Amino acid sequence: MIRVGTRASALARAQADSVAQALRARGEDVEIVTMQTEGDRLLSARLAEVGGKGLFVREIEEALLAGTIDVAVHSLKDLPAELPAGLELAAYPEREDPRDVLVSRAGGGLEALPDGARLGTSSPRRRALALAVRADLKIEPVRGNVDMRLRKLAAGEYDALMLAAAGLRRLGLTPEHAEPLPADVFVPAVGQGILGIEIRADDARVGKLVRELDHADTRAAALAERAYLRRLGASCNTAVAAHAMIEGGGTTIRMDAVVASEDGRRLLRDGATGVVEEAEDVGLWLAESILAQGAATLTALEPGRWR
C-alpha cells in the first residue's frame, strides 16, 4: 500500500487523484490521506504576514518524514525553494497550462474592466503585474478555494478575479468570461501548473515507482525556475515570476523572468536561452541578471498597505 498525502481541498484532492491513478495503473494499491495545513486554517490572513507559502506544506512534509505517508503531492508553486533534509522531489508529471486567467463578471478582459474596478487576488505577483497594466485597479485580497472565490465574484464582492488556468482545468471548471492572460506579459509564478511529487530520499521502492511518472520537459522547466527562485531567496511575499519553456524538440530551454515592486511601478525583466541539460544554470544566470538590475531593492509592501 502506498499512502499519498495531500491537502484536503478539492483541487489538491484532484491533483493527488491523478497521481494515485497513475500508480494504480502500475499495479499498486494506493490510499489518499488528506490533511489540513496551517495555511488552510489561516484563510483570513495574508500569507506574507503569517509565514509564507511553506504553511501549505509543512504538516504534509512532517507526515512524510514520520513515515505516516509515503508520497506527497504538491502544487509546485506552494513549495519553498529549499526542501527539508531527507526529502526529495522525485517526479514532475507533465505541466498543465501555466497561464493566469482573468475571470470577470462582465467579460471583455482586463482592458474592459471599469475604472477603479475591484480585482481579487492575494498574490503579490498578480497584484504587481495587474497594476503595471492598469494602475487604476483596486486590488483586494481574496483567499479560499476556487469555488469559494468564484462565488464571491458572482455575489458582486469583486469585479474580476485572477486565477490559475491549471487549477480551473484540473477541477473541470469553465467559468463564463474567463480570459487567459499572455504568459509573456503576466509571467507565471515559479512552478505554476506543475505538480511536485515528494518522497523520502531513502525510500528506494517508492522512488523507483514515482520516477516513472516524471516528464522530462517539465522537469527541466521546474529545475530552471526553482534555481532562479532559490538564488533570489524569494518567497510568496515578493513579486517574483519565472516561466521556462522547452523548445527545439526538447533540446532548448527558453526562460522569462520578472521581479516587480508590489505597486507595479518598477518591473525588472529579462530572458535567457540555453540547452536543456543546463536548465538550472539558465535559471541561475537569470537570477544574477535580475539581481544586477537591482532586484534586492524591490521589497514587498508593508502589512496593511493593500490599496
Same domain, 106 and 39: no
The whole model's pTM is what? 0.91
Measured at the CA of 132, the angle between CA 95 and CA 47, to 5 degrees, comes to: 60
Specify burial of residue 282 (Cβ count, 10 A radius: 0-12, 13-18, 19+). buried
Cα 21 to chain centroid distance, Å, stands at 23
Helices (H), 25-114: 38-41, 47-50, 58-66
45, part of any domain = yes
Asked if 176 contacts 96 with a C-beta cutoff of 8 angstroms, the reply is no
**Is a pLDDT exceeding 70 seen at residue 40?**
no
Out of 123, 156, 180, pick the residue that ends a domain.
180
C-alpha cell read off for 257: 523572468
Instruction: List the one residue out of 216, 103, 219 whose CA is nearest residue 165.
Output: 103
C-alpha cell read off for 3: 499512502
Same domain, 150 and 265: no
67, part of any domain = yes
302, part of any domain = no
pLDDT tens digits along 51-108: 455 677 889 999 999 999 999 999 999 898 899 999 999 999 999 999 999 999 999 9
Mean pLDDT of the chain: 91
Out of 126, 157, 180, pick the residue that ends a domain.
180
250: left (phi over 0), alpha (psi -120 to 50) or beta: left
137, part of any domain = yes
187, part of any domain = no
Alpha carbons within 13 angstroms on the beta-carbon side of residue 33 total 17
Same domain, 239 and 208: no
* C-alpha span between 147 and 41 (Å, rounded): 17
Same domain, 89 and 199: yes
Same domain, 263 and 147: no
188, part of any domain = no
Same domain, 133 and 206: no
What CA–CA distances, in Å, run from 21 to 40, 112, 158, 172, 206?
25, 41, 37, 17, 15
Least confident of 46-55, 118-127, 128-137, 163-172: 46-55
CATH of the domain at 119: 3.40.190.10
Q: Which of 40, 70, 78, 100 is catalytic?
A: 78
* C-alpha span between 77 and 55 (Å, rounded): 12
127, part of any domain = yes
Same domain, 85 and 51: yes
CATH of the domain at 250: 3.30.160.40
Same domain, 62 and 3: yes
147 is catalytic: no
pLDDT band of residue 299 (cuts 50, 70, 90) is low
**Is a pLDDT exceeding 70 seen at residue 303?**
no
**Is a pLDDT exceeding 80 seen at residue 130?**
yes
* C-alpha span between 230 and 55 (Å, rounded): 18
Same domain, 220 and 207: no
25, part of any domain = yes
Same domain, 57 and 204: yes
* C-alpha span between 218 and 195 (Å, rounded): 9
C-alpha cell read off for 222: 521546474
pLDDT tens digits along 229-287: 999 986 556 789 999 999 999 999 999 999 999 899 999 999 999 999 999 999 999 99
Same domain, 68 and 15: yes
C-alpha cell read off for 287: 537570477
Cα 38 to chain centroid distance, Å, stands at 18
Same domain, 107 and 170: yes
The boundaries of the domain holding residue 144 are 100-180
Q: How many domains does the chain have?
A: 3
